Structure 1
């Protein structure tokens, strides 16, 4: 399963997960505790881009590797949870 598509999915998964954690752990506290709403505006836009890219990558992987619907739903749910993309990608790597 270690193809170029797999490596690209892995990188996108890390980027999406990291951007989400930065948004939650750095930008949101800056917005509400330091009164700096620009932090969320910038980080939110970056995270939104990586989130959309992650969903496209999930669709590509689902088609290429014929993922079942449950795995696709798991990937989408993982993208909504902190550390979710990291856990999902690691579990996927163990099964491969």
Structure 2
């Protein structure tokens, strides 16, 4: 695990995984909020997802500059964060 966070790309990949996971959890907590009137889990996961999304974008910028990624690759990595399961797919195909 410590080897994963030693490089900017490793940190980016970790945050990408966590961001994707939080996106999926957000869908689950939406059901809790609207079907079972339990808004607290949605609020907590929503805040975590927002923080992870911002971290993802900042790390994407850092990694793209440091590794001199082409613009198309950066755009695809960004778009992957907007689609459920997108960061998991991008993990295998883009990074």
- Gap runs ≥5 in structure 1: none
Whole-Å separation in 1 of the counterparts to 2:43 and 2:81: 20
Moved over 6 A (4+): none
Normalised TM-score (structure 2): 0.89
Q: What residue in structure 1 maps to residue 76 of structure 2?
A: 74
**How far apart are 1:68 and its partner, in Å?**
1.3
- Gap runs ≥5 in structure 2: none
1:21 aligns with 2:20: no
**How far apart are 1:7 and its partner, in Å?**
1.2
Normalised TM-score (structure 1): 0.88
Q: What residue in structure 2 maps to residue 34 of structure 1?
A: 36
Could you say which structure has the higher helix fraction? 1
User: Deviations for 1:24-72, whole angstroms, at most 9, x for unmatched residues?
Assistant: 1x20000111111122111100000000000011001110111111111
The number of residue pairs the alignment matches comes to 91
**How far apart are 1:75 and its partner, in Å?**
1.0
RMSD: 1.5
